[in-house]
Amino acid sequence: MTDLYAVLGISRDASQDDIKKAYRKLAKKYHPDLNPGNKDAEQKFKDISQAYDILGDPDKRKRYDAGEIDAAGQEQGMRGAGAGAGPGGFYRSYADGGGGGKYRQFDFGEEFSAEDIFADLFGGGFKRRSGFSAGGPGGGGGWKRSEARGGDVNYQIRVSFQEAAAGARKRVRLADGETVDINIPPGCEDGQTLRLKGKGKPGLGAGPPGDAYVKINVDKDPRFSRDGKDVYVDLPVSLQEAVEGATVTVPTVTGKVQMKVPPGSNTGKTMRLRGRGIQPKGEDAGDQYVRLQVVLPEKPDDELKKFVKDWAKKHPYNPREKAGMV
């Protein structure tokens, strides 16, 4: 029997927040968009989504812990012969018939339609509203119309580096024409997937709808690069600023700040701006590292050339000597 806690890799006394974190971590790892053609990853993603659908809902989790529903969300008291142990259990129990045949033939009565058998293809399991009577509709029982959860759908959205760093609100148009506003969380990473519960394909019968998964694609920024919560930026400084030192303006993901450049700074000198990096919600902010790039005028004039030449005669040095490149 499937243990939903084991599927998410958490203990039974895990908090709802722990459940959410475990799901997000696994969903990002096994999402089909990140594992194209990998059937194992696709199945794993379905398993963890099913586990989170139950454990992520406090009411469903309480019923699961009490044994009232199983790992597929089916009523324990309603599980009859051939019901199976997971989503679409009934169909899978009879998909491979005996005697070399692929399917078995059953007469469930007129209330059981063909779409009920294939409801599993829509991403959900079966849920019986009443018991089964072998006598069909005349036997006093019969199958009621099945319910199946709707299928999940996938979307992609592009955000700027700044929007991913600071958070943003973006509008997404769904396949059915509905538009929804979603919150891009601060510190969002490229490839991160957000779940819109109940925004997938409609369910079968009275079954619940599936979910929508929105993959976030973060655009590169010409100024910034990122490593975890830390941000890196190359800052051009003039020859005078590098030699004499100066106070310069530096862009950060949260706005412009002032920074002191020490006298005698060279290209490659790196300075840290503490707490000016990425700050995911509920976490400490990372740092920003500023790498200086000494830049000469595009066309040095004769005056600068003469000054440098006269200076070099009195103060000769070879910058490659320390690097062992002489």
pTM score over 0.75: no
The reported pLDDT for the residue numbered 213 is 93
Are the CB atoms for 236 and 247 separated by under 8 Å? no
Gap between the Cα atoms of 105 and 132, Å rounded: 16
The reported pLDDT for the residue numbered 77 is 54
Are the CB atoms for 291 and 235 separated by under 8 Å? yes
Gap between the Cα atoms of 236 and 242, Å rounded: 10
Q: Tell which residue, 282, 286, 198, has the closest CA to residue 17.
A: 282
Domains belonging to the chain, first-starting first, are 4-128 (1.10.287.110), 153-218 (2.60.260.20), 224-314 (2.60.260.20)
User: Which amino acid makes up residue 65?
Assistant: D
Q: Tell which residue, 221, 198, 231, has the closest CA to residue 124.
A: 198
Q: Which helix (H) or strand (E) holds 224?
A: strand 224-227
What six digits make up the tokens of 203?
Answer: 């369910």
Gap between the Cα atoms of 200 and 214, Å rounded: 11
Gap between the Cα atoms of 144 and 105, Å rounded: 18
Query: CB-based contacts of 165: which residues, under 8 Å, 6+ apart?
Result: 186, 187, 226, 231, 253, 278
Gap between the Cα atoms of 211 and 123, Å rounded: 10
What six digits make up the tokens of 297?
Answer: 């005028």
Gap between the Cα atoms of 281 and 286, Å rounded: 12
User: At 285, is the secondary structure helix, strand, or coil?
Assistant: coil
User: In sequence order, what DSSP letters do the residues of 107-160 get, joined into one string?
Assistant: ---TTS-HHHHGGGGGT---B-SS---TTGGGGT--PPPPBBPPPPEEEEEEE-
Mean pLDDT by 10 residues, the chain (326 residues): 89 92 89 82 90 91 87 66 36 35 33 36 40 40 61 92 93 86 92 92 87 93 94 95 95 94 95 95 93 92 91 88 81
User: At 4, is the secondary structure helix, strand, or coil?
Assistant: helix
Gap between the Cα atoms of 230 and 278, Å rounded: 6
Q: How far is CA 218 from CA 52, 159, 189, 193, 213, in A?
A: 26, 5, 7, 12, 16
- Residue 100 CB burial class (10 angstroms; 0-12, 13-18, ≥19): exposed
Query: CB-based contacts of 317: which residues, under 8 Å, 6+ apart?
Result: none
Q: Tell which residue, 235, 188, 232, 236, has the closest CA to residue 214.
A: 188
Q: Which residue's entry shows tokens 């199945």? A: 43
Gap between the Cα atoms of 208 and 201, Å rounded: 9
